[in-house]
């Protein structure tokens, strides 16, 4: 279950620490969407500030240290102006935040945020290529260790699942639905095979025993899927395509 009591206490602590510099405290992601899983999900918090000087950040250290001590990741700190000015280069992140969020205190800055989409595909290809290169590098480091390969595969699913949804958005779709539904819809549009993603989700969610599958076979199919989606996004950006 979502740790509502801890979240509420954090909001009280951050309000006391920031004072009038706190514009908003926002919960986003799975904890706001209703599909939070304590084993796999993070409690994602955005704290919007009036200004982010050294002194302003230092004032928040005790309250954030308390939150981290509860075994949660640090909140994202941004100024309202910084959000407005960076919405073009962080279109993926802000679109995801706005998909599922809850204002815990203050202004609904996400509702009024203008997210220009002109660079969305560029950011999407960058993220796909960066994460694919990183995945290959990490694969080299775990060669011969099936347990580490499983861990690497399953940890990568949320990030690539998000990017697959944004690839569907770039194709003109709303990108709604579960990770399974989105990936299946993307595969249908691109005419590629994507069943490996569903199989890995089943293993991650313990609906299927990993002992019944070959990690090397799944990794090979997964890399092929990632490469094909990246190539499709690249073609979207090619004016000759």
Residue reference for tokens 């560029």: 122
Instruction: Tell the CATH superfamily of the 4-106 domain.
Output: Beta Polymerase, domain 2 (3.30.460.10)
Handedness of CA 139, 144, 148, 150 (dihedral sign): positive
Nearest to 44 by CA among 5, 90, 102: 102
- One digit per residue, the tens of pLDDT, for the chain of length 241 reads 889 999 999 999 999 999 999 999 999 998 898 877 776 778 999 999 999 999 999 999 999 999 999 999 999 999 999 999 999 999 999 999 999 999 999 999 999 999 999 899 999 999 999 999 999 999 999 999 999 999 999 999 999 999 999 999 999 998 888 899 999 999 999 999 999 999 999 999 899 999 999 999 999 999 999 999 999 999 987 765 4
Structure-block tokens of residue 45: 């918090």
Domain definitions of the chain by residue range = 4-106, 120-236
- Sorted by sequence, the CB contacts under 8 Å of residue 80 that are 6+ apart come out as 23, 48, 49, 50, 107, 109
Per-residue pLDDT, 36: 75
Helix axes 120-141, 215-236, angle to 10 degrees: 160
The neighbour count for residue 20, using CB atoms within 10 Å, is 7
Per-residue pLDDT, 164: 97
DSSP 213: S
Per-residue pLDDT, 240: 56
> pTM score, two decimals?
0.86
The separation between the first and the last C-alpha atoms of the chain, rounded to the nearest angstrom, is 47
Contact 226, 200 (CB under 8 A): no
């Amino acid at each position: 279950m979502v740790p509502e009591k801890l979240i509420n206490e954090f909001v009280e602590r951050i309000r006391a620490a920031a004072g009038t510099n706190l514009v908003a405290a926002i919960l986003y992601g799975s904890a706001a969407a209703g599909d939070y899983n304590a084993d796999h999900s993070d409690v994602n918090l955005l704290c919007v500030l009036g200004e982010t000087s050294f002194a302003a950040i230092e004032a928040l250290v005790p309250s954030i240290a308390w939150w981290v001590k509860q075994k949660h990741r640090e909140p994202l700190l941004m100024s309202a102006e910084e959000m407005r000015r960076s919405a073009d280069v962080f279109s993926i992140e802000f679109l995801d935040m706005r998909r599922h969020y809850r204002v815990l205190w203050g202004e609904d800055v996400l509702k009024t945020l203008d997210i220009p989409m002109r660079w969305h595909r560029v950011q999407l290809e960058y993220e796909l290529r960066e994460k694919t290169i990183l995945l290959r590098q990490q694969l080299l480091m775990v060669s011969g260790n099936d347990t580490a390969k499983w861990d690497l595969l399953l940890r990568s699913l949320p990030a690539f699942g998000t990017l697959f949804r944004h690839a569907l958005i770039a194709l003109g779709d709303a990108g709604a639905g579960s990770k399974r539904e989105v990936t299946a819809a993307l595969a249908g549009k691109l005419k590629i095979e994507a069943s490996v993603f569903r199989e890995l989700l089943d293993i991650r969610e313990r609906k299927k025993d990993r002992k019944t599958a070959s990690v090397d076979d799944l990794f090979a199919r997964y890399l092929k899927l990632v490469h094909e989606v990246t190539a499709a996004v690249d073609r979207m950006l090619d004016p000759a395509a």
